[in-house]
Structure 1
Amino acid sequence: MTPQPPNERAQHCDAHTDEATMPIPRTLIDTLDANPADNDAPGVGELPVSVWTTAQTSPANQRKGRYVAGTTAHPAKMLPAVAAHAIEHYTRPGELVFDPMAGAGTTLVEALHAGRRALAVEYEPHWAAIAQANLELARERGHNADAQVVHGDARQLPHLLPAEYHGQAALVVTSPPYGPSTHGRVATASTDSADGKVHKYYHRYGNTLDRGNLANVGHHRLLSGFTRILAGAANILRPGGHVAITVRPWREHAELIDLPSQIIACGHAAGLEPVERCVALLARVANDTLIARGSFFQRDFIRKQREQGLPLHLITHEDVVILRRSLTLDGAAGLGEGRESGRS
């Protein structure tokens, strides 16, 4: 089975993808660089926190037998245990889980293994096909709940998905693209490289010349586009449904970009209520310490920064921002449609 193409209206909208990344007023985008506790979101600075022990086994072991081989090439795969934890705690068997930026399909697979229905949208044709292959593998293993992969631009959700899905999802699980901050995998002289140097591969999303891909645009346009996606996803959520977003900060020229706080502000701008900011461990808990699972490039970066006098440490967790759609029917759903029709 191949991924379902977008309908004609969505194809028309895709021709204006670049315009669609800027539906949010510039003054609001500028505020996303600030701590969201300074914004209008009530209680954002006092969100409850919990720790998810999601790396007791390695990522390879978590995916073994459940994902096709091509999955490992994705530059920013979600840890399966993170998706599984969110699905277990925010949904019940038979409920619908949605991922508007599905990548290789981790949310789909973990939803089916947990006995939930699943719906996913993926922008890049290659990864939509890989997500579909992972979906078929789950079905071969006996997980036959209703599930679908749609190929299209998640910024066009109001036009991309049938009306039957509106207000149906109990949970949205997703992650923004990290673009140039991804590390990928390593090739050395003993493998693919003949010059004796260490090289990256599988560290870029699709075609880097595709400016419609949020992984290839600037920081503010990424935030703007992601806000639009959240507003559309709010229409898919049922009242009281949750959104779980895995996200981590990154550094540009040694300066920390607090992307988790900015994503909370994006959710607030999309009409969603922030309710938790959790810690999903990327390191194994062993007695009284954490065993980091850093990649070669993470370790190399830390070593070089320490040599320059900057006392950095390996990343051992990522944030999981939990948002919720209002219980009232005229909350976030109406906002998503309003932003679609009121860009001017």
Structure 2
Amino acid sequence: MTDRPTSPWPVPLPQGEKPPIPSLSVWPTGQTDPATQLREAGCVPGTETDTDLIPPAIAAYAIATYTRPGDLVVDPDCGAGTVLAEALHAGRRAFGLTARSRWWTLARANIAAAKASGAWRDGAVLDARPQMLATIRAVGLVGRVGLVLTALRTAPDDLGERTASPDRDPAAVINELVATLAYCEPLLGSGGHLVLVARPRRHPDGCLVDLTTPLIAAGTSAGLAPVDRCIALTAGLRGSRLVNRASLADRRAARVRAAGAGTPVTFTAHHEVLVFQAANGAELAAVAGIPRRIRMVHARTAFVDRPTRTSARRAVACVSAGPAADVRRISSGRWR
């Protein structure tokens, strides 16, 4: 078993095109340790200092599952740029933003390293906040994005703040996330997905924090519809057991918590993955009766652009007709 998804796909595709990977509820993305993943992905030294980064294996799995070659992958808060690098390696276009200068330098270096290794060359990162996606500068992205893939970031903005407080205020993090998702929602093309990855957190008493409820509420507030919830393993699979890959710092912290609580504390072995679509797109697919796992292929084949809400009836008719429908009659945009 490897970190990379390899699975057959039952829907006929054009000759020479690789099929997307049907999503699983548990992703086997922990077969190698984080340091090995970064090294195999060609990431530059220092990338590991981004504690909220999406591990390369998880990014690669999400990209292979929810996009097709040539699609545009966007990370509105890209950190050190692991998502962007993996998108380029997978033959997708990549675009990211970060307002933190230290992450921008690393993300730019990782993009350059990916291009130098022969990956797809259409990738860029801007020194900007997610709010830029709501300005005229991002108008060319509206309805063109196949996948928004980003992480829940709770680490402080600067190293000085990190020593005083390991995590930011949860309410502020969620409010910021709602705004970011709202900026991203208009960018999704037809059949596009927004995937949110969250590293598990614990309360002071050692209990896991419920991240799923507030994150789904944040996506719903931004006009998105949750379509899937997955578990991305950060532990290896050895037959019927998990091989934990907790760092030395994590092990020490667990021992401290266990001593304080008087009960054993288990290591986390996964990342939470929540998958969303634009509410109108998810509703159209449901009305058309397309099974979730082949919904993306039908939608991508049926549309060349994201349909407007006023064209809902024509879109449903086209999706019901299947891939052979005349896409130009129902598209809200044009080929570019």
TM-score normalised to the size of structure 2?
A: 0.71
Q: CA RMSD in A?
A: 2.2
SS of equivalent residue, structure 1 residue 233: helix
Q: Which residue of structure 1 lines up, in the alignment, with residue 49 of structure 2? A: 73
Counterpart position of 2:194: 243
Answering whether residue 181 of structure 2 is matched by residue 230 of structure 1, we say yes
State the Cα distance separating 1:216 from its structure 2 match. Answer: 6.4
3-state DSSP of counterpart to 1:223: helix
User: Which shows bigger deviation, 234-243 or 157-166?
Assistant: 157-166
Q: Structure 1 residues 209 and 159 mapped into 2: Cα distance closer, same or farther (>3 Å)?
A: farther
State the alpha-carbon separation in 2 of the partners of residues 219 and 82 from structure 1. 24
Does residue 1:302 correspond to 2:254, yes or no? yes
Cα distance in 2 between the residues matched to 1:116 and 1:276: 23
What's the % identity of the aligned pairs? 34
Deviation at 1:206, TM superposition (A): 2.3
After TM superposition, list the pairs within 5 Å mapping 1:11-90 onto structure 2. 50-64=25-39, 66-90=42-66
Describe the shift of the 1:299–1:105 C-alpha distance in structure 2 as closer, same or farther (beyond 3 A): same
**Secondary structure at the residue paired with 1:69?**
coil
Task: List, as ranges, runs of 4+ consecutive aligned residues in structure 1 with deviation greater than 4 Å.
Answer: 207-210
* Inter-CA distance 62–157: structure 2 relative to 1 (3 Å threshold): same
Counterpart selection for 2:140 from 164, 179, 187:
164
TM-score of the two chains, using structure 1 as the length reference: 0.70
Distance 1:132 1:96 in 2: 17
Report if aligned partners of 1:248, 1:259 keep a CA contact under 8 Å in 2. Answer: no
Instruction: Give the 3-state SS of the residue equivalent to 1:155 in structure 2.
Output: helix
Residue-by-residue CA offset, 1:57-86 (whole Å, 9 max, x unaligned): 111221215111121222222110000000
SS at match of 1:118: strand
- What is the match of residue 172 of structure 2? 221
Aligned residue number for residue 151 of structure 2: 175
Structure 1 match to 2:267: 314
Aligned equivalents of 1:280, 1:321: Cα separation in 2: 10
* 1:293–1:205 CA distance, 2 compared to 1 (3 A): farther
Q: Per-residue deviation at 1:162?
A: 2.5
Once residues 271 and 87 of structure 2 are traced to their aligned partners in structure 1, the CA distance between those partners, rounded to angstroms, is 21
Q: Contact 1:284 / 1:290 at 8 angstroms: preserved in 2? A: yes
Structure 2 counterpart SS, 1:258: coil
User: For 2:271 and 2:146, how far apart are their aligned partners in 1?
Assistant: 23
For 1:86 and 1:162, how far apart are their aligned partners in 2? Answer: 24
> Could you tell me which residue of structure 2 aligns to residue 270 of structure 1?
222
**Is this contact kept in 1: 2:89–2:120, CA < 8 A?**
no
Q: Counterpart of 1:74 in structure 2: which amino acid?
A: D
Write out aligned runs for 1:79-228 (5 A). 79-159=55-135, 161-179=137-155, 205-208=157-160, 217-228=168-179
Deviation of the 1:324 alpha carbon: 0.8
- Higher normalized contact order (CA 8 Å, seq sep 6+, divided by chain length): 1
The alpha-carbon deviation at position 208 of structure 1 amounts to 4.6
Residue identity in the other structure for 2:270: H
SS at match of 1:312: coil
Distance 2:136 2:102 in 1: 18
State the alpha-carbon separation in 1 of the partners of residues 34 and 222 from structure 2.
Answer: 32
SS at match of 2:108: helix
1:1-16 map, 5 Å: none
Determine the C-alpha separation between the residues in 1 that align with 2:136 and 2:127.
9
Separation in 2, partners of 1:310, 1:152:
45
> Cα offset for 1:239?
3.0
Shift of residue 167 of structure 1?
1.1
Q: Which runs of 5+ in 2 are unaligned?
A: 1-22, 282-306, 311-336
Q: SS of the residue aligned with 2:135?
A: helix
CA contact (8 A) 1:49 1:276 kept: no
Residue 243 of structure 1, CA deviation: 0.9
The 1:248–1:69 alpha-carbon spacing in structure 2 relative to 1, beyond 3 Å, is: closer
Deviation at 1:235, TM superposition (A): 1.6
Say which SS state the counterpart of residue 258 (structure 2) adopts.
Answer: helix
SS of residue paired to 1:235: helix
Q: SS of the residue aligned with 1:64?
A: helix
Count the aligned residue pairs. Answer: 256
Q: Do 1:248 and 1:260's aligned partners in 2 also have CA atoms closer than 8 Å?
A: no
Q: In the aligned structure 1, how far is the partner of 2:188 from the partner of 2:222?
A: 13
Match of residue 324, structure 1, among 253, 273, 277: 277
